[in-house]
Amino acid sequence: MILGGGFGGIGAAKKLSKSDVDVVLVDGHDYHTFQPLLYQVATGLLDQPAVGHPIRDLFHKQDNVRVHQDRVTGIDLEAREVRFAELEPERYDYLVLALGAEVNYFGVEGAAEHAFPLYTLADAVRLKDHVLERWEAADRKPELADDGALNMVVVGGGPTGVETAGAMAELYRGVFRSDYPDVPPEQARILLVEASPEIFAMFKPEIRLYTEHALAERGVEVLTGEVVESVSPQRVTLKSGTVLSAHTLVWGAGLQGNELVRSLGLELERGNRLAVDEELRLAQHPEVYAVGDIAAITDAKTDQVLPQLGSVALQSGEHAGETIAHRVAGKETKPFKYHDKGTMATIGRGAAVVQMLGGKTMKGKAAQAAWGTVHLALLPTNQDRAKAVVDWAGAGLTHQRSGRIRVET
């Protein structure tokens, strides 16, 4: 049984294609989400199907997989049984936990109610709709812009926050300038708030400097050493006492393991992630594998816990699938080895950064090309890759954001 149809779950199921097993894959959604491009949906650059792919579609040619859309509500490790919202409880011989993470608001007052996270496709659409609604409202009533209706605070100076702030700035300073010619640009600020003394702490100083410059060029104001204390629908209060007028706060500041892991009664690693051995199994339950964002996987090379990245999720999922196939066939299994493709992020058009394991760095267009190559490999099918190339090239050439419409449901 595989729980979760993200990079980890799909990777595991694919590697079981030639194995003599019956695979049941369950996800709460009927689609696989390509999270790295959520910010492009939120900024109207890509449409929803560009980042959401039907899960069933991925297994048309794999007879040993049954896919169900349902919510997992409980896991009984002792009884080897999973409970669901709708399906009957189901027992397993092997279990792959690939349920991902969820947003961590660190108890900030009002954040859970008023912040806009960017973790699911629904989050991205909700944020886009909210931004479009605020601009239309301020267009009708200019006094709303005086109250901060168009200001946006993005919390978190890691890849999610930087990518979102950069993309929003391009939306604001690009197409919105033509859409709303009467709005003075100084009434639409984008502020990136980071608690530590600098953004992109995981990168080398030269990359940080490049990123700060690229953000400034796009009109993003960076506030470092500032911690968000509370959030209301129209105001963001910082611990320093500063109150920012902003009707939108995007939360890109932290994740924790999926809520289900807290119900397993296991000791958890930092960020509520599951501890796994070198084969990605739970210590007391060798029939259970945990992969991707839900797991704290230690890199055998560096002895560090791997970051929550698409390539980590895909490779660990594939490893779990392969290992189960080997076990079922009575073959020897191997410990998990991560192949690092580099840490990377896109700040905007033509502005990206890459840092390789050995410390080599890339910036600008070369880095953007490297980002494209690595992320194309993460897409589930060749058809998706071809479509992404067309979408990305189209968006890059025309600068159009045809997704900036709001559809009432």
Contacting residues toward ligand FAD, per CB under 6 A: 4-9, 26-29, 33, 35-36, 38-39, 71-72, 98-100, 118-119, 159-160, 258, 260, 292-294, 308-311, 313
Cα separation, 367 vs 242, whole angstroms:
36
Nearer to ligand FAD, 131 or 145 (CB): 131
CB of 185 to ligand FAD, least distance (A): 26
Q: Compare residues 118 and 191 and give the one whose CB is closer to ligand FAD.
A: 118
Give the nearest distance from C-beta 240 to ligand FAD in angstroms.
27
Nearer to ligand FAD, 181 or 265 (CB): 265
* Contact between residue 184 and residue 146 where contact means Cβ atoms under 8 Å apart: no
DSSP strands (E only) in 235-342: 235-238, 243-245, 248-251, 255-257, 268-269, 273-275, 281-282, 285-290, 295-296
Question: Looking at beta carbons only, is 137 or 357 nearer to ligand FAD?
Answer: 357
Torsion from C-alpha of 259, 260, 262, 263, nearest 10 degrees: 140
Which residues partner with 5 through β-bridges?
A: none
Provide CB contacts within 8 A for 344, sequence distance 6+. 352, 353, 354, 355, 367, 370, 371, 374
| 267 in Cβ contact with 256 (< 8 Å) | no
Select 137 or 266, whichever has its Cβ closest to ligand FAD: 266
Least Å distance, CB 42 to ligand FAD, is 9
Q: CA–CA separation, 146 vs 131, rounded Å?
A: 16
Strands 23-27 and 65-69 turn out to be parallel
Across the beta sheet with 295-296, the strand order is 268-269, 273-275, 295-296
Min. distance of Cβ 45 from ligand FAD in angstroms? Answer: 14
Helix (H, G, I), strand (E, B) or coil at 305: strand
Q: How far is the CB of 246 from ligand FAD (least distance, A)?
A: 20
| Least separation in angstroms between CB 310 and ligand FAD | 3
**Host H or E run for residue 328:** helix 310-328
Decide: 357 and 300 in contact? Cβ < 8 Å: no
Taking the least distance from each CB to ligand FAD, the nearer of 160 and 368 is 160
Considering the complex, state which of residue 144 and residue 368 has its C-beta at the smaller distance from ligand FAD: 368
Q: Shortest approach of ligand FAD to residue 68 CB, angstroms?
A: 9
- Residue 260 Cβ vs ligand FAD, minimum distance, rounded to whole Å: 6
Nearer to ligand FAD, 127 or 149 (CB): 127
Residue among 36 and 348 whose Cβ is closer to ligand FAD: 36
Pairwise CA distance, residues 56 & 58, whole Å: 5
Burial zone of 18 (CB within 10 Å; 0-12 exposed, 13-18 middle, 19+ buried) = exposed
User: Could you tell me the smallest distance in angstroms from the CB atom of residue 207 to ligand FAD?
Assistant: 15
Residue (of 126, 28, 18) closest to 73 by Cα position: 28
